Chain A
Amino acid sequence: MEEVKALGIDVGSTTVKLTAVDAQGKLIWHHLEGADPRVEDQVDHFFNLMREHGFDGKELPMVATGYGRNLVEQAEKKVTEITCHATGVYNQLGHGGTLVDIGGQDSKVIIIGENSQVVDFAMNDKCAAGTGRFLENTAGRLRVPLDRMGVEALSAAEEVAISSTCTVFAESEIISMIAHGVEVNPILKGLHRSLILRIVAMIRSVGLVPPLMLSGGVVKNPAIREMITQELGEQVTMPEYPQLMGAYGAALIALKNSNRA
Chain B
Amino acid sequence: MSVSATLKYMVNVNIIGKTALGWQRRRAEHSTFSSSKWRTDILSEPLRIGARTKELISLHYLAGRYANGHRPVAWVTSGGPVEILQALGYYVLYPENHGALCGARRAVVDISTEAENAGYSRDICSYARTDIGSVLSGKTPVGKLPKPDLLLACTNICQTVLHWYRVLADHFNVPLILIDTPFVYDEAPDHAIKFVRRQLEDSIPVSEQVAGKTLEYKKLQEVLQLSKDATELWLEIMGRGKQHPAPLSVFDQFIHMAPIVEMRGLKTTVDFYSQLLKELDERISKGIGALKKERKRLLWDNLPIWYRLRYLSEYLAERGIAVVASTYTNAWGELAPLINVDKPLDSMARTYLYPILNKGTKYKLNTMRRMVEDFDLNGVILHSDRSCKPYSIGQVDQRNRLIKEYNIPALLLEADHDDPRAYAEEQVASRLAAFMEMLED
Asked if A and B bind, the verdict is yes
Q: Which A residues are within 8 Å of any B CB, using their own CB?
A: 67, 79-83, 106, 117-123, 125-126, 205-207
Q: Are A126 and B437 in contact (CB under 8 A)?
A: no
A125-B414, A126-B414, A126-B427 given as contacts; is B433 within 8 A of A207 (CB)?
no
Task: Please tell me which one of the listed residues A67, A122, A125 contacts residue B430 in the complex, with CB atoms under 8 A apart.
Answer: A67
Q: Is B438 an interface residue when CB atoms closer than 8 A count as contact?
A: yes
Task: Please tell me which one of the listed residues A83, A120, A123 contacts residue B431 in the complex, with CB atoms under 8 A apart.
Answer: A123
| 28 CB < 8 A contacts A-B | A67-B426, A67-B430, A80-B430, A80-B433, A82-B434, A83-B437, A83-B438, A117-B438, A117-B441, A118-B437, A118-B438, A118-B441, A119-B403, A119-B438, A120-B409, A121-B438, A122-B412, A123-B430, A123-B431, A125-B414, A126-B414, A126-B422, A126-B424, A126-B427, A205-B396, A205-B400, A206-B400, A207-B404
Task: Please tell me which one of the listed residues A80, A82, A83, A120 contacts residue B403 in the complex, with CB atoms under 8 A apart.
Answer: A120
Q: Complex: how many Å from CA A236 to CA B441?
A: 27
- Nearest-CB residue, chain A, relative to B422: A126
Q: Are B400 and A79 in contact (CB under 8 A)?
A: no
Interface residues of B in 353-410 (CB under 8 A from A): 396, 400, 403-404, 409
Q: Complex: how many Å from CA A123 to CA B423?
A: 15
Across the interface, which residues of A come within 8 angstroms of B423, CB to CB? 126
Q: Complex: how many Å from CA A119 to CA B426?
A: 22
Q: Complex: how many Å from CA A123 to CA B434?
A: 11
Q: Complex: how many Å from CA A126 to CA B431?
A: 11
Across the interface, which residues of A come within 8 angstroms of B414, CB to CB? 125-126
Task: Please tell me which one of the listed residues B400, B412, B430, B441 contacts residue A207 in the complex, with CB atoms under 8 A apart.
Answer: B400
Across the interface, which residues of B come within 8 angstroms of A82, CB to CB? 434, 437-438
Q: How far is the CB of A72 from chain B (nearest CB, A)?
A: 15
Q: Complex: how many Å from CA A205 to CA B394?
A: 12
Q: Complex: how many Å from CA A223 to CA B404?
A: 32
Q: How far is the CB of A119 from chain B (nearest CB, A)?
A: 8
Q: Complex: how many Å from CA A125 to CA B412?
A: 11
Q: Complex: how many Å from CA A206 to CA B400?
A: 7
Q: Complex: how many Å from CA A121 to CA B422?
A: 21
Q: Complex: how many Å from CA A80 to CA B441?
A: 14
Across the interface, which residues of A come within 8 angstroms of B412, CB to CB? 122
Residue among B400, B426, B437 with most chain A CB within 10 A: B437
Across the interface, which residues of A come within 8 angstroms of B437, CB to CB? 79-80, 82-83, 118
Q: Complex: how many Å from CA A121 to CA B431?
A: 9
Q: Are A83 and B434 in contact (CB under 8 A)?
A: yes
Across the interface, which residues of A come within 8 angstroms of B434, CB to CB? 80-83, 118, 121
Across the interface, which residues of A come within 8 angstroms of B426, CB to CB? 67
- Nearest-CB residue, chain B, relative to A122: B412
- Nearest-CB residue, chain B, relative to A110: B434
Residue among B400, B423, B427 with most chain A CB within 10 A: B427
Q: How far is the CB of A254 from chain B (nearest CB, A)?
A: 15
Main secondary structure of the interface of A (DSSP, over half): mixed
- Nearest-CB residue, chain A, relative to B438: A118
Q: Complex: how many Å from CA A125 to CA B428?
A: 10
Across the interface, which residues of B come within 8 angstroms of A205, CB to CB? 396, 400
Across the interface, which residues of B come within 8 angstroms of A81, CB to CB? 430, 434
A-B CB proximity, top 10 nearest: A82-B434, A80-B434, A117-B441, A126-B424, A83-B437, A80-B433, A118-B438, A120-B403, A126-B427, A205-B396
Q: Given contacts A80-B434, A83-B434, could you give 13 more A-B pairs where the C-beta distance is less than 8 Å?
A: A79-B437, A80-B430, A81-B434, A82-B434, A106-B430, A117-B441, A118-B434, A118-B437, A119-B438, A121-B438, A206-B400, A207-B400, A207-B404
- Nearest-CB residue, chain A, relative to B411: A121
- Nearest-CB residue, chain A, relative to B384: A125
Q: Complex: how many Å from CA A170 to CA B412?
A: 27
Q: How far is the CB of A245 from chain B (nearest CB, A)?
A: 15
Across the interface, which residues of A come within 8 angstroms of B427, CB to CB? 123, 126
Across the interface, which residues of B come within 8 angstroms of A79, CB to CB? 437
Q: Complex: how many Å from CA A142 to CA B403?
A: 43
Across the interface, which residues of A come within 8 angstroms of B400, CB to CB? 205-207
Across the interface, which residues of B come within 8 angstroms of A83, CB to CB? 434, 437-438
Across the interface, which residues of A come within 8 angstroms of B430, CB to CB? 67, 80-81, 106, 123
Interface residues of B in 121-154 (CB under 8 A from A): none
- Nearest-CB residue, chain B, relative to A78: B433
Q: Complex: how many Å from CA A198 to CA B237?
A: 44
- Nearest-CB residue, chain A, relative to B407: A119
Q: Complex: how many Å from CA A119 to CA B409?
A: 8
Across the interface, which residues of A come within 8 angstroms of B404, CB to CB? 207
Q: Complex: how many Å from CA A205 to CA B431?
A: 16
Q: How far is the CB of A252 from chain B (nearest CB, A)?
A: 14
Q: Complex: how many Å from CA A67 to CA B426?
A: 8
Across the interface, which residues of A come within 8 angstroms of B433, CB to CB? 80
Q: Complex: how many Å from CA A73 to CA B438?
A: 24
Interface residues of B in 60-111 (CB under 8 A from A): none
Q: How far is the CB of B56 from chain A (nearest CB, A)?
A: 36
Across the interface, which residues of A come within 8 angstroms of B396, CB to CB? 205
Across the interface, which residues of B come within 8 angstroms of A119, CB to CB? 403, 438
Across the interface, which residues of B come within 8 angstroms of A125, CB to CB? 414
Q: How far is the CB of A34 from chain B (nearest CB, A)?
A: 20
Q: How far is the CB of B230 from chain A (nearest CB, A)?
A: 38
Across the interface, which residues of B come within 8 angstroms of A126, CB to CB? 414, 422-424, 427
Q: Complex: how many Å from CA A125 to CA B396?
A: 13
Q: How far is the CB of A100 from chain B (nearest CB, A)?
A: 15
Q: Complex: how many Å from CA A118 to CA B400?
A: 15
Q: Complex: how many Å from CA A79 to CA B434?
A: 8
Q: Complex: how many Å from CA A35 to CA B53?
A: 49
Q: Complex: how many Å from CA A119 to CA B396?
A: 16
Q: Complex: how many Å from CA A207 to CA B441?
A: 21
Q: How far is the CB of B393 from chain A (nearest CB, A)?
A: 14
Across the interface, which residues of A come within 8 angstroms of B438, CB to CB? 82-83, 117-121
- Nearest-CB residue, chain B, relative to A123: B431
- Nearest-CB residue, chain A, relative to B431: A123
Across the interface, which residues of B come within 8 angstroms of A106, CB to CB? 430
